[in-house]
Structure 1
Amino acid sequence: MITKEQQVRGQKLTSDLVQKAYENTLFKERLISNPAETIEDFTGNKLQKNVNIVVEDQTNSNHIYLNIPAKPKMDELELTDEQLEMIAGGELVVGGVLIGVAVGCAILGAGIWVGTQLD
């Protein structure tokens, strides 16, 4: 499970990489062509070798990009005690809420995975 600290670190790293790519064309080209090595150099940390990183330049306003995240694993979904109480009390529509939570977690997880590799 991804901790809040790892989420924050991953979001910060993503933001820093994007900002540097905006400011430095050579860095952006290198990030696109060799993302793992570029991220390792940028952070000073080695990434897992079994992970493939895909970087797309989405700065062309004439293109619309759609990212299909990993399918949520409903059996691995963990709810807080408060969420479980709300479901047990009938306060939530279980299907819609669980799918929304799972998709949100999948999107968040996909966006911050790099932060979890730095430990």
Structure 2
Amino acid sequence: PSHAYAPEHLELHLRDPRPEDFVNAGAVFVGAYSPVSLGDYLAGSNHVLPTGGQPRYAAGLSAATFLRPQQVIVYDREALRAAHDDIVALAVAEALPAHGEAVTARFADLSAGE
């Protein structure tokens, strides 16, 4: 049930606590001697946590929150040629033909004998 609720704070009072099984919580406090107030005031854990079920997809505020990751992809001609058929097959399966054509067009000279 806690996975669906995705609480901001979750205290585990279990005989065999496994915090790794409770990933949909902003912060997990394990055992009778780890109250939420410990995390809020002294333990050093993050105090700016997602609420309203957001721990299902969001983490607490951190330096990473202010970074903007960027994906950089670099293929050469031979690498793209090796991936050509797979990309076209996926584009056809998704009914997005222009995605496949964007790859095929780069090899138009192949039909002319390259």
Question: Normalised by the size of structure 2, how large is the TM-score?
Answer: 0.23
Structure number with the bigger relative contact order (C-alpha 8 A, sep ≥ 6) is 1
Decide which structure has the larger Cα Rg and report it: 2
Greater fraction of residues in strand: 2
Greater fraction of residues in helix: 1
